[in-house]
Amino acid sequence: MRRIFIGDLHLQDERPDITEGFIRFIREECLRCDELYILGDLFEAWIGDDERADLSERVAWELQRLRRPGKFFIRGNRDFLIGKDFCALAGLTLLPDISEVRLGRSSAVILHGDLLCTADKKYQKYRRTVSNPFLQKCFLALPLSIRKRIASGMRKKSRSENSVKPLELMEVSDSEVLRIMTARQCSVMIHGHTHRPLIRDYNTEIFQANSLYLPARRYVVGAWDKEFKYVRADGDEVKLITARLDGRYAL
């Protein structure tokens, strides 16, 4: 069983090269896998499934016609408003923010990754507010033009805040990582969000549901640019792979 994990594509009209690269990736790399997991921030921005944009319709169509692999989606902090309608259109199964997947002998907990940046109290508070289902419903009930204005105002604010934010605030908290892995009985964690791909080994063994103690290991997928990194798992053999938008894969 081959599974592919990607995230942080940040698809947008300004980067048609990434959209084309993603479509090539779907048509080539994903044809050879059984399950595709998109770990959030597939789109740079999302203000509701009812916004019929050429970009999202094309992506949905390309994903939809990909018959073979099962396709799963976890929302990111950019596209947390993606809902049932878009997922149905794209043939994606929408997963909870923190989910689990069996990889052979080991179990992996998968998430976008913003939940792990616990040092950034202000962001976590903002996240709790915007994930409130009632507030989301109110926002989605606004006319599209007003939603667009609000979203672009928020993006500007976040850009100026992130440029002055100390780096440690955007770091993943290792204690939160191990807390979640222990609670979920998963020795593997796969996420994105930080745009800093890596493999991190911990000096801790995690007790798994299958009664095996396995060393904790965390994989971070990279953001998409001319080059990007994604995770490929064949059974419990997990690798961080470097790929290029033009399809010429590096080793």
Binding residues (CB under 5 A) for Mn ion: these are 41, 76-77, 193
What is the per-residue burial (b if ≥16 Cβ within 10 Å, else e) of 45-56?
bbbbbeeeeeeb
- Looking at beta carbons only, is 22 or 187 nearer to Mn ion? 22
Q: What is the DSSP letter of 11?
A: B
The minimum distance between CB 207 and Mn ion, in angstroms, equals: 30
The minimum distance between CB 114 and Mn ion, in angstroms, equals: 6
The minimum distance between CB 39 and Mn ion, in angstroms, equals: 9
- Looking at beta carbons only, is 92 or 206 nearer to Mn ion? 92
The minimum distance between CB 44 and Mn ion, in angstroms, equals: 10
- Distance, in Å, from the CA atom of 34 to the CA atom of 31, rounded to the nearest integer, reads 8
- Distance, in Å, from the CA atom of 145 to the CA atom of 190, rounded to the nearest integer, reads 36
- Looking at beta carbons only, is 191 or 217 nearer to Mn ion? 191
- Which of these, 16, 29, 31, 22, lies nearest to 65 by C-alpha position? 31
The minimum distance between CB 41 and Mn ion, in angstroms, equals: 4
- Looking at beta carbons only, is 136 or 182 nearer to Mn ion? 136
> Where does residue 156 rank: exposed (0-12), middle (13-18), buried (19+ CB within 10 A)?
exposed
Position of minimal CB gap to Mn ion: 193
- Looking at beta carbons only, is 21 or 76 nearer to Mn ion? 76
Question: Which strands make up the sheet holding 35-38, listed edge to edge?
Answer: 93-94, 70-73, 35-38, 2-6, 227-234, 237-244
The residue behind tokens 């970009």 is 55
Question: What is the 3-class SS of 139-203, one letter each residue?
Answer: HHHCCHHHHHHHHHHHHHHHHHHHHHCCHHHHCCCHHHHHHHHHHHCCCEEEECCCCCCEEEEEE
- Looking at beta carbons only, is 56 or 106 nearer to Mn ion? 56
The minimum distance between CB 80 and Mn ion, in angstroms, equals: 9
